[in-house]
Amino acid sequence: MSEANRIDIRPATADDIPALVDLMADFYAESAFPLDRDWAARSFAALFADPARNAAWLASLDGQPIGHTVLCSRHSMEFGGLDGSIDDLYVIPAARRRGVGRALLDRLVAHARALGVLALHVEVAPDNTAAQALYAALGLQLTPDRQLLVTRL
């Protein structure tokens, strides 16, 4: 059986929170961001509490988690309906460049369409050219006329 046939991508559930937090911790560590694991678990629990707008997917190889992605959506005045955010996409380094990220995003996009999401956006680091190419292949485009401003409340 080829490796591609052993990769399983499925909707994540609240039962997957420990695995999702582990993946999130790896993701944050790669970027040298601190992560409060209890906060991350609560954040995933809140995500799963609103399935009409949010979802996550978990990729596994031979039963071991190797990646995940998260869709969060909200009403947008600009688009006149739901606007979706690819809130997280992470694949462990050993599983990269094998189509896992694309497969995760394909599931996310199909689900977003089924929910009636009218537009998707994603935040990506300027030096993460691999992710930029992956997102561009899905039709996402850089918006040079806008900047993302953020504050915690």
**Residue 4, pLDDT score:** 58
Average per-residue pLDDT for the chain:
93
* pLDDT at 136 > cutoff 90: yes
CA dihedral 86, 92, 94, 100 (to 10 degrees): -30
* pLDDT at 1 > cutoff 50: no
Mean pLDDT over 110-136 rounds to: 93
pLDDT band at 144 (very low <50, low <70, confident <90, very high): confident
| CB-CB contact of 139 with 106 (8 Å) | no
* pLDDT at 3 > cutoff 60: no
Cα separation, 29 vs 98, in Å, equals 22
**Residue 81, pLDDT score:** 93
The predicted-structure confidence for 48-106, as pLDDT tens digits, reads as follows 999 999 999 999 999 999 999 999 999 999 999 999 999 999 999 999 999 999 999 99
Phi, psi (degrees; rounded to nearest 5) at 128: -90, 75
pTM score of the predicted model: 0.91
C-alpha Rg value of the chain to the nearest Å = 15
Q: Which two tokens stand for residue 1?
A: 């059986």
What length does the chain have? Answer: 153
Mean pLDDT over 3-27 rounds to: 92
Judged by average pLDDT, the poorest of 9-13, 40-44, 76-80 is: 76-80
Q: From edge to edge, which strands make up the β-sheet containing 7-11? A: 7-11, 54-61, 64-76, 81-91, 119-122
Domains parsed from the chain with CATH numbers: 3-137 (3.40.630.30)
